[in-house]
């Protein structure tokens, strides 16, 4: 299906496009709130600036997709494949990204407040400057992730893997690091006010605070 067909059907009231093949489709800045794209193939798709608020993108294939600046507020991306995707500058507060596979994805400068990342795989992802206040990262793999200057106020990182993560200048005030793996993480200039670092699984001599 091409973009014109999709937009015509959406305008006619259709919302369910489950398991559709939209490889490489260009949906730049389109308005598609509440659309159902569960299991859809969106490899290499251009969704930058699109309005996908409350959309269902669970189990979708978003490998290499461009979602920069998109509105993903309250969207469902649980168990989606988004390796190498561009989420920079997205607005995705209260979205569900539980179980997402997003290794090496770019989420820099994104508003991800209260997002559910539980059990996600985000190793090597770039969260620099992102707003992650009250985000849920329980059992999430963030090994080698770039979280420099990110706001993680009251975020739950319990049982998460933050080994070799870059947390330089990040704000972790009141964050939960219970049993979080911080071996070789860089905490230089990190705000740890209200955090019990002794509960984390860490090798303090390898961390610069």
pLDDT digit string, tens, across residues 49-91: 999 999 999 999 999 999 999 999 999 999 999 999 999 999 9
- What confidence score (pLDDT) does residue 203 get? 60
Q: How far, in Å, CA of 159 to CA of 189, rounded? A: 23
148: confidence class by pLDDT, cuts 50, 70, 90: very high
Side-chain half-sphere exposure of 202, counting CA atoms within 13 A: 24
Q: How far, in Å, CA of 193 to CA of 37, rounded? A: 41
Q: How far, in Å, CA of 181 to CA of 164, rounded? A: 9
Q: Give Cα 47 to chain centroid, integer Å.
A: 15
Q: What is the DSSP letter of 46?
A: B
Share of the chain above pLDDT 90, in %: 93
- Is the distance from CB of 80 to CB of 58 less than 8 angstroms? yes
- What confidence score (pLDDT) does residue 176 get? 97
> Which phi and psi angles does 150 have, rounded to 5°?
-80, 150
Q: What is the pLDDT of residues 167-208, one digit of tens each?
A: 999 999 999 999 999 999 999 999 999 998 888 887 643 454
Q: What is the pTM of this model?
A: 0.92
């Amino acid at each position: 299906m091409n973009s014109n067909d999709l937009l015509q059907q959406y305008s006619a009231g259709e919302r369910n496009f489950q398991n559709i093949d939209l490889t490489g489709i260009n949906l730049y800045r389109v308005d598609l709130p509440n659309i159902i794209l569960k299991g859809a193939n969106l490899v290499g798709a251009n969704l930058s600036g699109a309005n996908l608020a409350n959309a269902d993108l669970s189990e979708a294939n978003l490998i290499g997709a461009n979602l920069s600046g998109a509105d993903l507020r309250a969207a469902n991306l649980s168990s989606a494949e988004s390796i190498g995707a561009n989420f920079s500058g997205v607005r995705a507060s209260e979205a569900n990204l539980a179980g997402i596979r997003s290794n090496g994805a770019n989420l820099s400068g994104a508003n991800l407040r209260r997002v559910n990342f539980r059990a996600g795989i985000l190793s090597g992802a770039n969260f620099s400057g992102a707003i992650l206040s009250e985000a849920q990262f329980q059992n999430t793999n963030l090994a080698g992730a770039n979280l420099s200057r990110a706001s993680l106020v009251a975020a739950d990182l319990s049982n998460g893997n933050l080994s070799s993560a870059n947390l330089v200048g990040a704000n972790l005030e009141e964050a939960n690091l219970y049993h979080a793996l911080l071996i070789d993480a860089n905490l230089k200039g990190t705000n740890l006010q209200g955090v019990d670092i002794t509960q984390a699984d860490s090798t303090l001599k390898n961390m610069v605070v």
